[in-house]
Amino acid sequence: MPGHILALDQGTTSSRALVFDERGAVLGMAQHEFTQHFPRPGWVEHDPREIWESQLLAAREALAQAGVRAEETLALGITNQRETSLIWDRASGEPIHPAIVWQSRQTAAICDEWRARGLTERVREITGLVIDAYFSASKIRWLLDEVPGAQERAERGDLAFGTVDTWLIWQLTGGAHLTDETNASRTMLYDIAARSWSAELLEAFGIPASLLPEVRPSSSDFGTARAEFLGAPIPIRGVAGDQQAALFGQGCVNPGDAKNTYGTGCFLLSNTGAAKPASEHGLLGTVAASCDGPAFALEGSVFVAGAAVQWLRDGLGLIATAAESEAVARSVLDTGGVYLVPAFAGLGAPYWDQDARGALVGLTRGTERGHIVRATLEAIAYQSRDLVECIAADAGRPLEALRVDGGATHNAFLMQFQADILGIPVHRPKNLEVTALGAAGLAGIGAGFWADPAQFVAATSSDLDVFEPSMPEVERTERYEGWRNAVARTRSQLA
C-alpha cells in the first residue's frame, strides 16, 4: 500500500515530528524546543499551549520537508514524554494549571503520606509501580488540592485529566478524551492485569473517576486529526509512551527482547509477553505497546548516564563536548583502577538507596584526566549491567543480546565496553529514530499499512552495528566486582 505515516514525538525538551515511508526511512523531520519552567527548586512545569503549538508547527514542517501532503498520509502516531500531567476544563479546553513534568519533585510529600498510610504494597500489586512523585497520581492530587475549587469541579465532571498524549489527541480531534494503555500504566492509577482504572486506588487517593480518559490499546482508533491542522483529516491510529514506543520501534515484540536507551539517564525495558511481571529485584512492571492482547515489560532505569558526561563537560570542564569523551577515554589503556559512581541523585535498581551520593574511588598520584573520563563512560555500562542482571534474574535466563539507542550510543567506546562488560553482543540500529518509528509502526498497523508487528519489524528493521564482546571472562568478572565494591562505598548505610 503506498503512503506515509506521520509520527509526533513529544519529548521533555522538544516537540519533534517525522514522516516515514513503508520501509521505515525518514523522509522529513522537524523539531522545536520549548520553555522549561522551574517555579521553585526541584519543580518542573511546561506550558500546555506551548507543547501543542510547538508540536503542530513541527508536524506541518515535517510534512513540508518530506514533500508529503496530508492526503498522502495514511495515519498519525503519537509518542510522548510519560507521566507528565495536565488538567483542563472540559467546556473551555483551558488548562487549570501548567503541566507538572515527570521530573518534578513538588509532590514528594504527598507520596510520603501515601507510603505512611501503608499503600505501598497495594500500589505495587495493582500498578506494578513504586509510590513515587514521577508518576501521575500524586501530580493529580496536588492539582486538585492547590488549584482553588478544582476538587469540586472534578467531582461535578467539569474537568479532564490527561498525560501529554491525551492533551494532543484532545487538541487534534477537537475534544476526544482518550489515552493508550502504556501511558495509562504510568499514572499509578491503572490496574495493569485487569486493564482498567483501579477503583480502589482512585478511592484511596480521592481522585474522581470522571477526570480520566478512556483507555485503548496502543494500536487502535484514537479519532481523526481535523483537517484545519494539517490540511486534510488524518486518522490517529497509534499511541505509546516514549520508552514503550522505543521498545516497539526496536523490534522488541517477542518475550525476552530487550532494549536500553542511553540519554540523560538510561531506560532498560524487556518484553515479558502476556503474563503480568512481578519483579523480585526492584524493577517496575509496566504495559508494553501491543496491537491486540495484553503485553507487558519489566523496566529499570539509571538516573544518571549521559548526564554524567554533561557533568564532565559543564561541572568539571574536563571535556569540551560530549563526543570528545570518546577520544579522551581511548587516550588511556584503562582507568588505572579508578571507578566513578555517579550516584548524584541516589541509586535506583537494584540498590534503591535515595541517600547514596556519588564517589570517585581508587585515585592515585598517577590519575589523569583520561582515567576519570574513561571511568565515567564505564560507569554508564556498569549501571546498565546492574539492570541487565536484575532482568535476567527475574526472567530466570540470561539476555542473548541488547538492542540500544539514544544520544550516547554514538560513542563507540561506550558500546564496545558495554558488550565487553555484559559478555553479550550489543546491537545498534543504523536508523536511531526508533522512538518515532515505534509510534509510526503502531499507527501503521492500526491503519492496515503493515499487517502485524512481525511484518512491521521485517519491513523496517535497519542494518545493525554489532559490538561483540571481546574481554576475557576473568577480566569481566574482576572489573565488575571492582564496580560493586565502589558502589558499596557510596551507600548511605554500609552493608
| Contact yes or no for 163/83 (Cβ under 8 A) | yes
Burial class (CB in 10 A: 0-12, 13-18, 19+), 366: exposed
What is the maximal distance between C-alpha atoms in the chain?
69
Q: Which residues, in sequence order, are CB contacts of 117 under 8 Å at separation 6+?
A: 204
Cβ-proximal residue to ligand ADP, closest one: 407
**Given the complex with ligand ADP, which of 161 and 303 has the nearer CB atom?**
303
Distance CA 208, CA 126 (A): 18
**Given the complex with ligand ADP, which of 14 and 151 has the nearer CB atom?**
14
Q: How far is the CB of 358 from ligand ADP (least distance, A)?
A: 16
The enclosing H or E element of 272 equals strand 266-273
Q: Among residues 58, 8, 90, which one has the least CA distance to residue 438?
A: 8
Q: How far is the CB of 274 from ligand ADP (least distance, A)?
A: 30
Q: How far is the CB of 407 from ligand ADP (least distance, A)?
A: 2
Q: How far is the CB of 309 from ligand ADP (least distance, A)?
A: 4
Q: How far is the CB of 237 from ligand ADP (least distance, A)?
A: 25
**Given the complex with ligand ADP, which of 35 and 310 has the nearer CB atom?**
310
**Given the complex with ligand ADP, which of 341 and 373 has the nearer CB atom?**
373
Binding site for ligand ADP (CB under 6 A): 263-264, 306-307, 309-310, 322-323, 325-326, 406-408, 410-411
Q: How far is the CB of 312 from ligand ADP (least distance, A)?
A: 9
Q: How far is the CB of 411 from ligand ADP (least distance, A)?
A: 3
**Given the complex with ligand ADP, which of 306 and 482 has the nearer CB atom?**
306
| Contact yes or no for 339/482 (Cβ under 8 A) | yes
Please give the sequence-ordered ranges of beta strands (E in DSSP) within 393-495, or none if there are none: 402-405, 426-429, 464-467
Q: 464 to each of 326, 428, 467, how far by Cα in Å? A: 20, 5, 9
CA dihedral (171, 443, 410, 82) positive or negative: positive
**Given the complex with ligand ADP, which of 126 and 302 has the nearer CB atom?**
302
Q: Among residues 61, 80, 440, which one has the least CA distance to residue 230?
A: 61
Residue 462's φ and ψ, nearest 5 degrees, are -95, 170
Please give the sequence-ordered ranges of beta strands (E in DSSP) within 63-166, or none if there are none: 73-80, 86-89, 99-100, 159-162
Q: How far is the CB of 325 from ligand ADP (least distance, A)?
A: 5
**Given the complex with ligand ADP, which of 12 and 220 has the nearer CB atom?**
12
Single-letter residue type at 349:
A
**Given the complex with ligand ADP, which of 89 and 314 has the nearer CB atom?**
314
